[in-house]
Amino acid sequence: MVAFVTNNGFILSSAPNFRDLGGHRTAGGGTVRHGLLYRSDALHTISEPDLPVYNGLGIRQLIDLRTAHERESLPDITPEGAAYTAISVQDPTAAGANFSQALLDRERARAMFADGAAERFMFGVYRELVTDGAALTGYRDLVERAAEGPTALVFHCSAGKDRTGWGAALLLTLLGVDRAAVVADYLASNERQENTDKWMRMLSEHSGLEWEEVVPMTRVRAEYLQTSFSHIDEVYGSFDGYVFDGLGLSRATVDALRARMVA
């Protein structure tokens, strides 16, 4: 029997998708340690009332997976004592890295996202996250930083569901967490999109698209994540092939990650 840990409590009300990846059971009988790995949505939103909690988590690394445009437009609030690092996981010229800008152009938005195209767009993003050169370099960097420390570490994008979602799935799988539990953690983002919905509704109004046409980009689906795992098998032959040949991680790094993160 698999016990799903989705960390449903809200640590920060102003960043609803901020959550601890700890508590998951691993194949070796261990448990992912609490308070070492956090995933989140945008961190420019941290409110004054949330600052004492945010600063009190002992975070020592903040990893920003957003594009340069996103980072410059909405700079993070970095926790006290933490080092800030920007790690790109998308080619800045790729459609997936610039969809918010595309939504500001009505003609371009309709061509890219109308009539079911938004769903196809999302499947394409999840394939790119495991094969694009920038993604391979970026996710290798994320894993290496998690393995080397210092911890605690938080990594995030804008909604905390796609780029961050794959980062969390990668880390949890490397730690030996069961696939069903990995998917459950991923799907937990759907109940934490209050900030994203406000932003996306504003963009959809500018785009001239109906909200229903935009919805596939505002939620996660198990099929999106499965697309990444399936594409890994197609391109690299196995998850290990992706880890060691695609990402170029060393066995020593994976061992160090597990030693640090699993009790």
Of the candidates 112, 154, 157, 225, the residue annotated as catalytic is: 157
Parallel, antiparallel, or unpaired: how do β-strands 37-40 and 19-20 relate?
antiparallel
Question: What class has domain 19-261?
Answer: alpha beta
pLDDT tens string 50-63: 999 999 999 999 99
Q: Indicate the length of the chain as a whole number.
A: 263
For residue 80, count other CB atoms closer than 10 A to its CB: 11
pLDDT tens string 205-245: 777 788 888 888 899 999 999 999 999 999 999 999 999 99
Cα–Cα dist 46/42, whole Å: 9
pLDDT on residue 215 = 87
Q: Which residues of the chain have pLDDT under 70?
A: 1-8, 95-99
What's the pTM value of the predicted model, to 2 decimals?
A: 0.92
pLDDT on residue 251 = 98
**Residue pointed to by tokens 């919805």:** 215
List the one residue out of 200, 142, 186, 192 whose CA is nearest residue 5: 186
pLDDT on residue 3 = 35
Parallel, antiparallel, or unpaired: how do β-strands 153-156 and 83-86 relate?
unpaired
Q: In what order do the strands lie in the sheet with 19-20?
A: 19-20, 37-40, 153-156, 61-64, 83-86
At residue 238's C-alpha, the angle toward residues 237 and 244, to 5°, is 100
pLDDT on residue 95 = 62
Whole-number percent of the chain with pLDDT over 90: 75
Q: Quick one: residue 208, left, alpha or beta (phi over 0 = left, psi -120 to 50 = alpha)?
A: left
pLDDT on residue 8 = 56
Question: How far is Cα of residue 162 from the mean position of the Cα atoms in its chain?
Answer: 5
Parallel, antiparallel, or unpaired: how do β-strands 83-86 and 61-64 relate?
parallel
Q: So where are the chain's domains? A: 19-261
pLDDT on residue 224 = 98
Task: Reply yes or no on whether 189 is catalytic.
Answer: no
